[in-house]
Chains A and B, each alone.
Chain A
Amino acid sequence: MGEVFAVYRRLAGAKLRGDLQYRASFVMFFAGQFLITFLDFVAIAVVFGRVTTLGGWSLYQVAFLYGASGVAFGLSDMFVSQVEYVPQRIRLGTFDSLLIRPVSSLLQVVAEDFAPRRMGKVLQAAIILGVAVAKLHLAWTVGRVAMTVCMVLSGTLIFSAIWIAGGAACFWLLEGQEVMNSVTYGGNFMTQYPIHIYGAWLRRLLAFVTGTAFVAYFPALYILDKPDPLGLPSFMPFLSPAVAVVACVLAGAFWRVAIRHYRSTGS
């Protein structure tokens, strides 16, 4: 495990050094993303200009949800979303060179395209989360602190699993990147609102199929001490880590199946 991490650190470091040769582009991407993600939140604020609560949640409660899911998504975006470049690698034939090395192909893909310039998103979401926490005046019990940490970690893993599964699907659908983005970026968007405002089928999809309701919504119910309007069992918030682990195991297995279906390119 330590050796795997060491290789990851080397490869990601190499990418960072390569990126820094194009400093202006790096800075502009970072700043651009930071600003653009704020527009997401402006949309929520506009809604609250008309109503005082959304599905029984106040602005700062929704902001908490937005911030938590944003940090989780941002981290997965920074560390794992690089799998979306798999179709390009396959088409250019550069995927082959990953498969001739004695290191997991998935590790190489995420390390070699490590994207610290995507930090902008994490930073923006963290600021919103911080403001929400300050305004909500929560009583910080050990349970709440633990649940918050757990929420961010599990959320990051759940989004990462979705990225990986999407990347694996691209071995069959070389033009799958757009479909994949609708699931990942779309999934992130859906987690920014309390899921009980959605219709029943969409709620079930988020809770039981994509698992994204476990990213922030269920843990937030516990942290914000909200009753579950859907009447689901009260242990739901505690399931997030389990959902995250299962999602990652499934995504990893899917990736391995996909690699065996890899067809490479001519010549």
Chain B
Amino acid sequence: MISNGDAVIEVRRLEKTFTVMQKTGRLRRTRQQVQAVAGVDFTVEAGEMVGYIGPNGAGKSTTIKMLTGILVPSGGTIRVVGLEPSRRRVELARRIGVVFGQRTQLWWDLPLRDSFELLRHVYRVAPDRHAQNLAAFIELLDMGPFLDTPVRQLSLGQRMRGDLTAALLHDPEIVYLDEPTIGLDVVSKAQVREFLANVNRERGTTVLLTTHDLADIERLCRRVMIIDHGRVIYDGELETIKQRFGTERTLVVDLEEPGPPIEVEGAEVVKVEGPRQWLRFKRTDVTAADLVARVAAHAHLVDLSVEEPDIEGVVRRIYVEGLDP
């Protein structure tokens, strides 16, 4: 039996190299080795919720696919609940859940309810346990109104709720989520986050999630691993990263007419494009509300928005400024 604090995922010097054929002439092609994952080490303990973030092409999805056993590593070792995923894939599948945000594992032409019923047979879940889990998830995710709708007619947010349920109905010990909030609106995103927090808290499910949305991580994960070019460049508390690199936000304002860069205390104009200006500020120096008030004192505002730092921005700053204090 696994209890909180035991290592459930152990990854050592993990590597994955793809051979890509590149066209170099009319007919000639040369082999090129692309290293998607280049020596990754980490351990995840039971009950943890870890954010695995990095820019596009950093190796996040490749790592997750090796953890599930879909891809065979080129080097290094993986142990998930003590099993080697690529050799024991089918056995491991019963104990893990996976959500690929970009695609669905539900049956496209059938009502959502039917997909859950099919999965009960695929995972051989006892009928009463299945019914109990399903009832709980339907309530948590508010799926009642669209349970009998064919999956192809569901909105993205509804489908994602279905996919989350599909990944969790068999009581997996670990769930991997690859971009679970991609493309969702603010309300759906919040619902997905609440749900995941609940599952982790109430069921003790270990969660490893990749995302582009720092807000997902902020809401859910104390620990974050940042990967870039196939290597883990940071593994630790989210708070540390946030204080050091995630403090900079950008206020975007649309003025009534083009003008010179606005000069206000606590912010600096980084870009001007016609009547639109971008002001960078630190959340530690000034609140967004105060800043808006200061800008409004200078010019007539038509519209405004606040941009949060994204993963790419954080990674860029880690490179520029370095991690050492």
Contact = CB atoms under 8 A, between A and B. Distances in A.
Contacts of B107: 14, 18
A100 B108 contact: no
A262 interface: yes
A261 B109 CA distance: 30
B110 A17 contact: yes
Contacts of A96: 65, 70, 100, 103
A126 interface: no
B151 to A, nearest CB: 10
Given A96-B65, A263-B18, A3 B124 contact: yes
A98 to B, nearest CB: 9
B198 interface: no
A104 B89 CA distance: 10
Contacts of B105: 97, 100
Nearest to B182: A267
Interface in B134-154: 150
A45 B49 CA distance: 70
Contacts of A17: 109-110, 114
A18 B56 CA distance: 35
Contacts of B100: 93, 96-97
B94 to A, nearest CB: 4
A99 B61 contact: no
A261 B124 CA distance: 28
B61 A266 contact: yes
Interface residues of A, number: 28
Contacts of B179: 267
Contacts of A264: 65, 70-71
Contacts of A101: 93, 122-123
Nearest to B36: A266
Nearest to A18: B109
A11 interface: yes
B122 A7 contact: yes
Interface in B57-82: 57, 61, 65, 68-72
Interface in A76-121: 92-94, 96-97, 99-104
A199 B165 CA distance: 60
A233 B68 CA distance: 51
Interface in A99-149: 99-104
Contact of A100 (B18, B57, B96, B109): B96
A14 B111 CA distance: 10
A102 B72 contact: no
Contact of B114 (A14, A93, A100): A14
A168 B178 CA distance: 27
Interface in A223-266: 260-264, 266
B212 to A, nearest CB: 11
A14 B118 contact: yes
A213 B116 CA distance: 45
A261 B89 CA distance: 14
A102 B123 contact: yes
B90 interface: yes
Contacts of A39: none
Interface string B82-123: 000010011101101010101111011110001000100111
B102 A11 contact: no
A106 to B, nearest CB: 11
Given A96-B65, A97-B100, A102 B110 contact: no
Given A93-B102, A103-B122, A21 B89 contact: no
Given A100-B70, A100-B98, A267-B61, A10 B121 contact: yes
A103 to B, nearest CB: 6
**Closest 4 A/B residue pairs (Cβ):** A18-B109, A97-B105, A102-B93, A102-B94
Interface of B: 18, 56-57, 61, 65, 68-72, 86, 89-91, 93-94, 96, 98, 100, 102-105, 107-110, 114, 118, 121-124, 150, 178-179
Given A10-B118, A99-B69, 7 more contacts: A18-B107, A18-B109, A260-B72, A263-B18, A266-B57, A267-B56, A267-B102
